[in-house]
Structure 1
Amino acid sequence: MDYKRATDRLFERITAEDLAAELGVSQNTIARARLDPATRGYRPPPAGWERGAARLAGEQAARLLQLQKELERLAGE
């Protein structure tokens, strides 16, 4: 693994598109739920958002832990 590949993996992130796909809603729904509730365009978060966000966070954590192990192995730790 080289520096570019390692940092590409390190900088991967969960996007609104990922969350929308996980929850089966549009990206617009995700965006509107992130607005200040006092604004006119605000909508409540989609049902089940907690479980979907937790799953995505768990997947990301697992990817980062795997990257950590690979980098530690390369560093001789």
Structure 2
Amino acid sequence: MSEFEATLRSQVDERLKALAAAQEAGHDYEAHLHSARIRDLLDMAARHGVNTGGWVDPAVLDSATLED
């Protein structure tokens, strides 16, 4: 695993923990922000050819999406 990939993985893991804490506390907007950051990190990884399969359960991100 490259340093770049390890750093991305660490950041995703940190945001997942923050997302779970925000959801547990009932802070929907904060959870949405963490979810958006995770998506940004996953997009960055994809642009650089990093396989992120298995890093994040898509249902976790979907549960943090705000409804319009």
For this structure pair, what is the TM-score category when the shorter chain's length is used for normalisation? 0.3 to 0.5
Larger Rg: 1
Relative to its length, the structure with more helix (as a share) is 2
Higher relative CO (Cα under 8 Å, sequence separation at least 6) belongs to 2
